Amino acid sequence: MSTSQKGWKDSNWYISLSGFWKEYRKHRIGLIGIFIMSIFFGMAIFAPQLATHDPTPQAKVAPEYLAPSWLSVFDSSGVVTGDYLDDPFINEEPNMGTNGTSGEFSVLHQPIDDLNNESYVNLTWSHTPGTQLDFIGVDPDHIMPDYTDMVYFDQIVTWPWNNRPSDVNMSFSYAAELTGDFANESISGNLMFRIYLWIIDSSGEWTRLYESRELNYRDYVQEKPVSLNYFSIIDIFDGMISTNGTQQEDPSDELTIRIGLAPTFRFESHDGGHPWQDFSGSVEIKVTQLKMIAYGEYFGLLGTTNWGADAWSQLIYGSRISIMIGILATSIATAVGVIVGMVAGYFGGKIDEVLMRVVDFLLVIPGLPLMMVLAAFLGASIQNIIIVIAILGWTGTSRLIRSQVLAEKNKAYVESARAIGASDTYIMFRHILPNVTPILFANITLGVVGAILSEAGLSFLGLTDPEDPSWGRMLADARTGGAFSTGAWWVVLFPGLMITLLSLSFTFVGHTLDQVLNPRLRER
């Protein structure tokens, strides 16, 4: 061992910490408290990495009160909500193809190229002057384009459930541009191209979900949402559901999502009847994203709330709110309580009388109603909630410190400090405070518990910011959203469990600190 290492290991602070830890680890309940507390601190620190969705209570991601996905193991036909496209950002080359013989088509996948920092599939519909297109007429069922001349790409989706989803939302993002003669403004105003979105089941039945009214030729990416109606969901998914567990209409569990680009009948002529076939050019779309969210009875790790928000993400971020408010409010309350207790105990007399009467007045007033009034008056924000809790949290600390200072101020070391001319401030904070600090640590940890419970209570009563994802807010939303009547137990059990466990962890640590640092308890 080097001299420097031996030196700091022989220092007073190292010896004190080593002795404290040797005594602390003898108490199993204290070690359990530290373990639970470290889990919650880890949740708070790594919340952005652990959360799966926006933690805002009103950020809807699915229908309300969907059960946690792990409960689906007890429901063989239950559908778990999720994105069933393996490659929504189209990083891998999809299946591509063309229809028709009159046009020149080219399909190019760009897996590395960048458009707004995204990969894309490039579909190009090009035309050579004099080429006649294959017009098949307007489809009365509004499924197929007016021309067979089309360029498209496919994405395959496997449906693993023996039930149809309750709802399906899709979207795709694309940018479009014109080249050649088609880029001429006098011609482009008459161009009629449309983007189509179909789902083709394994039996070959087509269901058209989207047809653009007019193609916007813009070089920036735009997103088009597509929501399936009830009848489309039946047409697409009922054929994939087995009858009596043995037969199903579709031969496999695969769906083909097809995006196509094709001209329409109104593109037959332009400007006074001149045939558009006399021009050469191309229409190009770059598709950057294709999503398919199917909603079932289950969602995520902890289901959804009454707003349809992700309960897991709120639970994770709720640890940040509780820990931050608990520690900051207790720190402010402890600082105020220490100062008031030190001044009252050291100076005594009228100063002590006035300060203690203020403390008695605050202790007589019921805490929760006063906090409700202050929270409503100051406004619903985290800063104001911390102030409200701190205003009522310092009284117990001040009385504890005062009693300790009364016992310490007449001891010999204080008299010696006065004799050599030390100021009152120096004596209080340099000599007396270090001797009353050990008993203060246990009081601080127990004060954090009170602050956490106070924040949860104010949130439950709706006196905190509704945008803050706290555990108390989750319980309040569960109460007002009818979670008890609908049986959505997960939005009640888990927030309550988190409040209980975090409070217990601080209580365990505080109890152990009191046993280790309190001389009277240590003697027992």
- In whole angstroms, what is the distance from residue 348 CA to residue 345 CA? 5
Would 74 be classed as within a structural domain?
no
Residues 125 and 220 in one domain: yes
Would 418 be classed as within a structural domain?
yes
- Examine the fold and report which residue of 240, 270, 295 is the final residue of a domain before the chain moves on: 295
Residues 238 and 331 in one domain: no
CA-based nearest residue to 198, from 248, 167, 157: 157
pLDDT for res 277: 61
What is the DSSP annotation of 240-286?
A: GSPBTTTB-SSSSSEEEEEEEEEE-GGGGEETTTEEGGG--EEEEEE
Residues 333 and 475 in one domain: yes
Residues 208 and 332 in one domain: no
Residues 249 and 384 in one domain: no
For residues 473 and 309, the answer to whether their CB atoms sit within 8 Å is no
Q: Which domain holds residue 349?
A: 24-45+305-523
Residues 362 and 501 in one domain: yes
Write out the chain's pLDDT in tens, 524 residues. 555 555 545 555 555 677 777 888 888 998 999 999 999 999 999 999 999 999 999 998 999 999 999 999 998 888 999 888 888 888 888 888 888 755 556 666 665 445 555 678 888 888 777 777 777 777 777 788 888 888 899 999 988 888 889 899 999 999 888 887 777 765 655 567 889 999 998 888 899 999 887 777 777 888 899 989 899 999 898 888 776 656 778 888 889 999 999 887 654 444 433 345 667 788 888 888 899 999 999 999 999 999 999 999 999 999 999 899 888 998 999 899 999 988 888 888 888 889 888 888 888 877 777 787 887 787 778 888 888 888 888 888 888 888 888 888 888 888 888 888 888 888 888 888 888 877 787 778 888 888 888 888 888 888 788 888 989 889 988 988 888 888 899 999 999 999 999 999 988 988 888 888 765 555 44
Q: What is the CA radius of gyration of the chain?
A: 35
Residues 505 and 418 in one domain: yes
Burial (CB count within 10 angstroms: exposed 0-12, middle 13-18, buried 19+), residue 174: buried
- In whole angstroms, what is the distance from residue 411 CA to residue 404 CA? 12
CA-based nearest residue to 447, from 364, 509, 402: 509
**Would the CA dihedral through 88, 90, 95, 100 be positive or negative?**
positive
Residues 272 and 207 in one domain: yes
Q: Please write down the HEC assignment for all residues of 346-376.
A: HHCHHHHHHHHHHHHHHHHCCHHHHHHHHHH
Q: Map tokens 């217990």 to a residue.
A: 504
**Would the CA dihedral through 347, 350, 351, 355 be positive or negative?**
positive
Would 239 be classed as within a structural domain?
yes
pLDDT for res 116: 55
For residues 13 and 270, the answer to whether their CB atoms sit within 8 Å is no
Would 359 be classed as within a structural domain?
yes
Would 217 be classed as within a structural domain?
yes
- Examine the fold and report which residue of 268, 295, 322 is the final residue of a domain before the chain moves on: 295
- In whole angstroms, what is the distance from residue 232 CA to residue 201 CA? 12
Q: Map tokens 């956490």 to a residue.
A: 452
Would 56 be classed as within a structural domain?
no
Overall number of domains in the chain: 2
Query: Helix or strand or coil: residue 435?
Result: helix
pLDDT for res 304: 94
Residues 278 and 315 in one domain: no
Would 64 be classed as within a structural domain?
no
pLDDT for res 105: 61
- 200 — phi, psi (to 5°)? -115, 120
- Examine the fold and report which residue of 257, 272, 295 is the final residue of a domain before the chain moves on: 295
Would 391 be classed as within a structural domain?
yes
Residues 468 and 363 in one domain: yes
Residue 35: CATH number of its domain: 1.10.3720.10
Residues 349 and 491 in one domain: yes
- In whole angstroms, what is the distance from residue 240 CA to residue 244 CA? 13
Residue 214: CATH number of its domain: 2.60.120.260
pLDDT for res 5: 52
Residues 377 and 436 in one domain: yes
